[in-house]
Every structure is written in C-alpha cells, then in structure tokens.
Amino acid sequence: MTTRLPTYFISHGGGPWPYMDGPFRRRFDVLERTLAGIPAELPAPPRAVLVVTAHWEAPQFLLSAHPQPPMLYDYGGFPPHTYEVRYPAPGDPALAAQVAGLLRAGGLHAALDAERGFDHGSFTTLQPIYPQANVPVVQMSLQQELDPALHLHAGRLLAPLRDEGVLILASGLSFHNLRSFDARGAAASQAFDNWLREAVLQPDPSERAARLMRWAEAPAARQAHPREDHLLPLMVAAGAAGADGAVLHYHEDEFFGGLAVSGFRFGGG
C-alpha cells in the first residue's frame, strides 16, 4: 500500500464555527462530519500538515515558522469566548524552511514568517480533523496577484511532500460572495459549482489544470468569487495532485439557506 498522502481542497466554513453551539454551529454539521473523517481516509498518519490558507496574502509565498504559533482572530461579531479560543498545535520551522526551499528551487519567491499565527482558515479547519492539536502545522500564504497558473505551479513543486508524510490542506470556500451568502446566491453558486465539479473531476490532469486556469470564464464565476482569494488554494491542491484523479469529498446544496458548495480530495484511492 502506498503511503503517499492525498491533497484536499476544503471549504472551511464561516468564522469560529467549531467553537460555537446552537443554530450557527448546526449550519456546519455536514462539513464537520466530512472533516472529522479525514484521518481515517489517510494511508498513514501525517507527520505534519501544510495549510494553504485563503486568509493570508503576500507579495511572495510566505511560510509560517513560529514554533508555537499564536492565534489570529480574523473575524468579527462573534461571541466573546471565540476571541479567546486556542488551537495549540506546534509549528514546524524546519518544514517551513523545506517548503520555502522547494518553491525557490522551482523559480518562485518564498520566505519565512516567524511571527504569523493561526488564522481562522486554518484553525477552524483543523479543529474537527485533529481536535487534540497534536500534529505540527505550517501555514502557507497565497501570492497576492492571485494568478491561478502561479499557484498551480507552486502546488506541483510541493508534490514531493506527499511522500514525506506532509498532508496538504488547501483551505478556502468554493462560493465566496459575502453579499449573497444566503438564498440570493443560490443560482450563481449552483451554476459555478456545476462547472467546478466538472472541471476538477475530469480525468485528464492536464485538462483539469487548463480549465482551472480559465476559471474566470466559468458560468457565474464573478458572482461566486468577486475576488478569488478563497478559490486559489484549490490551485495549489490540484497542482500538488500531479496525475492523481479527484473525487468529490464534500458537497451541499443548502449551505446557508441554498448555496451549493463543494470540496475535493486528490489521490488517496
């Protein structure tokens, strides 16, 4: 059995939902079950997790290198206790340096950030997967120009990590128009999600990459993503997948009152 780990594009949900109770938390029941099932899908436990987060952009790719990352409460309007939660997973400065080295060797600009803490694109994703916070975590930023080809290339450069026990989690959201984050966005989200599933699940990896690079031509593309920060992590996961196929890992048609959202696993059987 291969121990090569799959890669994932995860729709990470809204705000600090894993740390809440009541109706808001219940909106994420399907997502929570899906995330909690990831460890059982892996051929071996990872030695570390690399989270490509939609909530961090920089002029070059940055890697978090704090050995005990602090927290970034990058949300507003939630209960006071959600600004005190901790996800105490250790960082992995050596892995951060390795990732930066792989990117530089492939001609990309990359550097370390020794101060960066866990943003909610990371800790809310990881809490249901590894609630014990016992797996080291490194975060990777997006490059702020949000060029899909650049991020696909970055993913390809990171593919060797999959054979070294590093789980690559691309954390974004397949529909991210906060002005239509309810039934008003239903038609646009369905149109874009139909296109996205066909593009990602198509069996030819070269054609998959070509379609993803042209994502802005998709039906309702800019209604789904007025700004593509939450879609670009997908490019890194798809690039790191290489020739591996994808499966629909998560899907809902009634997310937040009618939105179609999806997540994907690349490789892993």
Condensed to tens digits (0 to 9), the pLDDT of residues 113-142 reads 999 999 999 999 999 999 999 999 999 999
Q: What percent of the chain has pLDDT over 90?
A: 91
Domain that includes residue 171, residue range: 7-266
Please compute the mean of the pLDDT values over residues 153-167 and round it to a whole number. 98
Alpha-carbon radius of gyration of the chain: 17
Please compute the mean of the pLDDT values over residues 23-39 and round it to a whole number. 95
In a domain, 2, yes or no: no
Domain CATH number, residue 193: 3.40.830.10
Q: How confident is the model at residue 2 (pLDDT cuts 50, 70, 90)?
A: low
Q: Are 203 and 245 in contact (CB under 8 A)?
A: yes
In a domain, 109, yes or no: yes
pLDDT of 257: 82
pLDDT of 269: 66
In a domain, 1, yes or no: no
Could you give the C-alpha distances from 126 to 183, 209, 244, in angstroms and in order? 28, 27, 24
Q: How confident is the model at residue 182 (pLDDT cuts 50, 70, 90)?
A: confident
Q: 3-class DSSP state for residue 64?
A: strand
> What residue type is 212 in one-letter code?
L
Q: Which of 102, 59, 65, 44 is nearest to 236 (CA)?
A: 102
Please compute the mean of the pLDDT values over residues 142-157 and round it to a whole number. 98
Q: What angle do CA 235, 241, 247 make, to 5 degrees?
A: 90
In a domain, 159, yes or no: yes
Instruction: Check pLDDT > 80 for residue 1.
Output: no
Q: d(Cα 180, Cα 23) in Å, to the nearest integer?
A: 20
Total domains, the chain: 1
Q: How far, rounded to the nearest angstrom, does the alpha carbon of residue 233 sit from its chain's CA centroid?
A: 5
Could you give the C-alpha distances from 62 to 26, 55, 114, 218, 264, in angstroms and in order? 34, 12, 10, 29, 24
Please compute the mean of the pLDDT values over residues 207-228 and round it to a whole number. 97
pLDDT of 142: 98
In a domain, 22, yes or no: yes
Q: d(Cα 141, Cα 11) in Å, to the nearest integer?
A: 16
